[in-house]
A and B are shown apart, each in its own frame.
Chain A
């Protein structure tokens, strides 16, 4: 298990059953680590789409002078997806939780693990 996978496993342990899946994706849309509780989901395709959306969200915030984007929270009828940039912005962290998850805890966990994940990405 790589350091990245180990950290994602720790995140999984902390968030528990509310966690649906998570990916570390480059700005090119390729996943470098991730998992999903549903093996039928095409995580790579999903991550690529959310990476594209994050790139656009960053552009939108810049064009509208809204300040630097910290995260994007997407609420759908089954899941909530949180996306944020890691480190210098060359990677995104995408995390899916169930609709009734405690968002405050999820956000705090992400704040805690974002720098660790950035450090663990091989460069």
Chain B
């Protein structure tokens, strides 16, 4: 009997667990992004796994992290050799532990990336006359980095400015001026400069006091720091 499906519908761990609990003998092929792994389960035990040049338990730990791709299952195919010696529950527990560790590491890297962006904004503030506030804001309206010298409602600024950026982006497209690069609001007391980071998923917003700010300096400095912010953006 054969069966096939998508990893979006069922996780690799569930596929293995199901066949082991049912004491089945199956050959499981899992494919993702041009890679193809195979897992042999014999009478409810994982006995062999292979992926490229890799064989054994490490293959299982690798494919447990695959959340996209397809699988194909063929019953009653015997393994050509034995490369896995742990029982299936220990395998899945170790796999889950490794995935947790990996996720923690990614979260830590993201947090340190954002802390770095806060630091870059602080450095930028020292080069802009009349600096009040700077934020890196996503097009979802949430800020991911900020440095402020004034008591301001950061969430309100992020949400309002994002709406404006979206509207201006549409207006610019309509006018066939093609790509919005930046927007400068001049009020009686402040300048608000907004500039897209490459990829247009985020933008830098800088608020300055108009009396002491210099427009040329503001444009120049924000241009330089855009590159640095983009380089430290958590991927």
Chain A interface residues toward B at CB < 8 A: 38, 41-42, 45-46, 49-50, 52-53, 56-57, 59-61, 63-64, 66-79, 81, 96
Contact = CB atoms under 8 A, between A and B. Distances in A.
Contacts of B183: 72-75
9 contacts: A49-B174, A63-B160, A64-B207, A68-B188, A71-B186, A72-B184, A77-B179, A78-B177, A96-B177
Contacts of A69: 185-187
Nearest to A43: B175
A77 B178 contact: yes
Which of A38, A45, A75, A77 counts the most chain B CB atoms within 10 A?
A75
A74 B168 contact: yes
* Size range of the chain B interface in the assembly: 20 to 34
B208 to A, nearest CB: 10
B164 A74 contact: no
Given A64-B157, A69-B187, A56 B164 contact: yes
B170 interface: yes
A50 B160 contact: no
B99 interface: no
A41 B157 CA distance: 33
Given A53-B168, A72-B183, A66 B189 contact: yes
A19 to B, nearest CB: 14
A60 B188 CA distance: 14
A48 to B, nearest CB: 9
Which of A57, A61, A63, A76 counts the most chain B CB atoms within 10 A?
A76
A46 B182 CA distance: 18
Which of B152, B179, B185 counts the most chain A CB atoms within 10 A?
B185
Contacts of A46: 171, 174-175
Nearest to B132: A66
Interface in B178-214: 178-190, 192, 207
B39 to A, nearest CB: 52
Given A60-B164, A64-B152, A76 B172 contact: yes
A74 B171 contact: yes
Contacts of B175: 41, 46, 49-50, 76, 79, 81, 96
B153 to A, nearest CB: 8
Contacts of A96: 175, 177
Contacts of A42: 174
B156 interface: yes
B52 interface: no
